[in-house]
Amino acid sequence: MGYRKKFLVTPGSKLRLKDIDPGFKGRYENQDMAAPELEMSRLKLVQLQSLLYAEKQHSILIVLQALDAGGKDGTIKHVFSGLNPQGASVAAFKAPTPIELAHDFLWRIHPHAPEKGSVAIFNRSHYEDVLVTRVHGLVSKKTCLARYELIRAFESGLKESGTSVIKFFLHISREEQLARFKKRLEDPARNWKISESDYSERAHWDAYWEAYEDALPATSTDEAPWYVIPANHKWFRNLAVSQIVAETVEELGMSYPKPAADLAEIRRKYHAALHEERSAAKRRD
């Protein structure tokens, strides 16, 4: 498939989002063609999570960033819904609270990092503090440059402790965003998602793109890579994300730990208990 290489943001490169087609769908003509491969990837994720949970030597952090209606919620629902909740968590980062604002910008992030054996998914993340804050003039470009360095150090520390960091920017077009806003207006089940900021933020589209084009190459590293995922087609987005995550986790080379118990002794006790049950059943007859 090669999606890891195709969609990877090369560290320190010049990223131009306008050169990346958000409607790209690879060799698939439609969702039905991609469905078998998507299902295989999701099943592989379930199997890999079982290994991750049992081995407890690694953890996975998945970061999802996008403009409004970019598909963060949908990706979580359709790609990761099969994960065992005992070993998975989702953290959604909204506007910081007064207490959070009183600390450094990474203070509210670290407690949500995954423990060994688990998967954490960030719906928005620490990158809001070099994106939204920059677009709205709350911080300068100079401050963002300093924060890029802090982010790289933070994610390097996570990797050092056994956490694989995989970051996705879900890339949609202006037209697709507006079409999704329209569906929210027309569907009562989606009305709750509508907010005034959906439309006011569209006025800053170019500024957001510029912020992403600066932040992604500056913080994409071998330890914590960024991927720009064409996301106009939701099914292709799900396929690409699931395959990249599965391939990355598979490379950890995990294996189930050896049992701590004496299996021969447990089997002996099992057969003895089974024999006793059968004997008791015959006596009752």
Distance CA 120, CA 252 (A): 17
pLDDT at 263 (0 to 100): 87
Q: What average pLDDT score do residues 36-62 get?
A: 97
Find, among 106, 80, 123, 214, the residue nearest to 158 by Cα: 106
In angstroms, the CA 234 to CA 143 distance is 35
Quick: pLDDT tens for 1-42.
589 999 999 999 999 999 999 999 999 999 999 999 999 999
How far apart are alpha carbons 246 and 103 in whole angstroms?
35
Residue 258, φ and ψ in degrees, nearest 5: -70, 145
In this predicted structure, what is the pLDDT of residue 35?
96
Name the DSSP class of 157: H
Q: What is the pLDDT of residue 139?
A: 97
Q: What is the pLDDT of residue 187?
A: 82
pLDDT of residue 194: 77
The DSSP call for residue 161 is T
Q: Is the pLDDT of residue 285 over 80?
A: no
Please report the pLDDT score of residue 281 as a whole number. 86
Q: What confidence category does residue 119 fall into, taking pLDDT thresholds of 50, 70 and 90?
A: very high
Q: Which two three-digit tokens encode residue 184?
A: 């929210």
The domain in which residue 88 lies consists of 3-284
- Please tell me the predicted confidence (pLDDT) of residue 207: 97
Q: pLDDT (tens digit, 9 = 90+) per residue, 159-174?
A: 999 999 999 999 999 9
| Distance, CA of 229 to chain centre | 12
Integer Cα distance of 277 and 144 in angstroms: 70
Across the strands, what pairs with 88?
Answer: 119
Total domains, the chain? 1
What's the pTM? 0.92
Query: What CATH number is attached to the domain comprising 13?
Result: 3.40.50.300
* CA distance linking residue 117 with residue 48, whole number of Å: 11
Strand-pairing partners, residue 59, are 163
Q: Could you tell me the two tokens for 109? A: 């992030």
